[in-house]
Amino acid sequence: MKALVLEKTRHLALRDMEQPLVLGLDDVKIAVETVGICGSDVHYYTHGRIGPYVVEKPMVLGHEASGVVVEVGANVGALKPGDRVCMEPGIANDKSRATRLGLYNLDPDVVFWATPPIHGCLTPYVVHPANLTFKLPDNVSFAEGAMIEPLAVGMQAVTKARVSPGDVALVIGAGPIGIMVALAALAGGCSTVIISDIQNPKLEIAGCYDGIVAVNSRERDLAGFIREFTGNWGVDVVFEASGHPSAFKGIFEFIRPGGTAVFVGMPVEPVQLDIVSAQSKEVRIETVFRYANVYDRALALIASGKVDLKPLITETYPFGESVQAFERAAEGRPRDIKLQIHLGKDAQ
């Protein structure tokens, strides 16, 4: 099959690649329709590694996907050929201690699409476990289905934050994940989400949503804004979603006594935290790595209309222009939130 292959750093090729597709008893075969380009895909393209995960041989990219079931294994009853679906991309060992604790995202043996050395889904067909394949409601498009994966990260962050109705939250970083976190926080009960960034085009997109207050932290003192907005109390939750090392400086200043800090973004280098400032407020600190047990709820939020992701889809490229799509994603244009690649019938 043709696939978008990362041959080495900064070298992509759309070419034929041997990918045996063995349909197990509990699996489904899926014709891939739409795949989103994630920041991790771009990072592998530009740097060849993320922390300990190093691309050492050609690897197919992509893990945010939707498609159509074309074949089912003998034990599969909940899905049938023709069903429109999205796929949760991480396959855990169901016998591991982490999985038994409900923490399958932390299973050391998890097999996750487009994480070296595992191939991703930017290819016409994939085989995937049926229990990680979710039927799309009729009112959810393939494009939206391919956005469930990043929304699940936002859902995980909000779940870890234990948001209460009426909370005020701050999200640092208005990239795709930051906006997903903000939308999930609103859906989870926050009355207002302040989102900060230094790029006005991204803030303009985020600020179009009711309940989100956008602040350019380069043009305005963020700490002063929060003091004014909350009456010198502080926000209930801070979500750090940029991963930029500078964002961690003074982060506990934004949080009310007894509030929560959730670290979502992944810095490329170690960062310094003022632990005493956290202790003096008894700030609860949570961290996020992917997600667990939230995929179906993320899908339900989109289907219900409580979360609208359509304004975040900047442009869709045909499969034949996948390399150009990644080159654009690597540019980091300020108005680009989510670029997607459409495979559809032309790629089959």
- Residues contacting residue 74 through CB under 8 Å, at least 6 positions apart: 25
Q: Which of 48-57, 82-91, 252-261 has the lowest mean pLDDT?
A: 48-57
Model pLDDT, residue 130: 98
Compute the average pLDDT of residues 8-20.
Answer: 93
Q: How far apart are CA 65 and CA 341, in angstroms?
A: 10
Compute the average pLDDT of residues 273-284.
Answer: 97
- Token match 């995929």: residue? 295
Q: Which of 47-56, 157-166, 239-248, 255-264 has the lowest mean pLDDT?
A: 47-56
Nearest to 199 by CA among 176, 182, 181, 183: 176
- What structural domains does the chain harbor? 2-147+309-347 (3.90.180.10), 154-287 (3.40.50.720)
Confidence of residue 345 (pLDDT cuts 50, 70, 90): low
Cβ atoms of residues 139 and 304 within 8 Å: no
Q: Calculate the average pLDDT of the chain.
A: 96
Model pLDDT, residue 73: 98
| Percent over 70 (pLDDT), the chain | 99
Q: How far apart are CA 142 and CA 342, in angstroms?
A: 9
- Residues contacting residue 304 through CB under 8 Å, at least 6 positions apart: none
Q: How far apart are CA 326 and CA 255, in angstroms?
A: 37
Residue 119 phi, psi dihedral angles, 5° rounding: -70, 150
Tell me the H-state helices in 194-265.
200-206, 222-230
Q: Which of 43-52, 97-106, 113-122, 194-203 has the lowest mean pLDDT?
A: 43-52
Predicted confidence (pLDDT) at residue 185 exceeds the cutoff of 60 = yes
Q: How far apart are CA 200 and CA 192, in angstroms?
A: 19
Confidence of residue 254 (pLDDT cuts 50, 70, 90): very high
Model pLDDT, residue 176: 96
Q: Which residues pair with 316 in a beta bridge?
A: 340
Q: How far apart are CA 310 and CA 142, in angstroms?
A: 11
Model pLDDT, residue 348: 47
Q: Provide the b/e sequence for 215-233 (b: ≥16 CB within 10 Å).
A: bebeeeebeebbeebbeee
Cβ atoms of residues 237 and 212 within 8 Å: no
Compute the average pLDDT of residues 10-15.
Answer: 96
| Percent over 90 (pLDDT), the chain | 95
Model pLDDT, residue 346: 54
Model pLDDT, residue 69: 98
Provide the token pair at 196: 């900060």
User: Could you count the other beta carbons within 10 Å of the beta carbon of residue 1?
Assistant: 14
Nearest to 306 by CA among 185, 202, 208, 207: 185
Q: Which residues pair with 133 in a beta bridge?
A: 87
Q: What pLDDT, in 10s, does the model give residues 34-83?
A: 999 999 999 999 999 988 899 999 999 999 999 999 999 999 999 999 99
Q: How far apart are CA 191 and CA 263, in angstroms?
A: 21
User: Could you count the other beta carbons within 10 Å of the beta carbon of residue 12?
Assistant: 20
Predicted confidence (pLDDT) at residue 261 exceeds the cutoff of 90 = yes
Compute the average pLDDT of residues 81-92.
Answer: 98
Q: How far apart are CA 10 and CA 20, in angstroms?
A: 26
Residue type, 25: L
HSE of 210 in the Cβ direction (CA atoms, 13 Å)?
A: 4
Predicted confidence (pLDDT) at residue 347 exceeds the cutoff of 50 = yes
Cβ atoms of residues 341 and 37 within 8 Å: yes
> Between 269 and 162, whose confidence is greater?
162
Q: What pLDDT, in 10s, does the model give residues 293-310?
A: 999 999 999 999 999 999
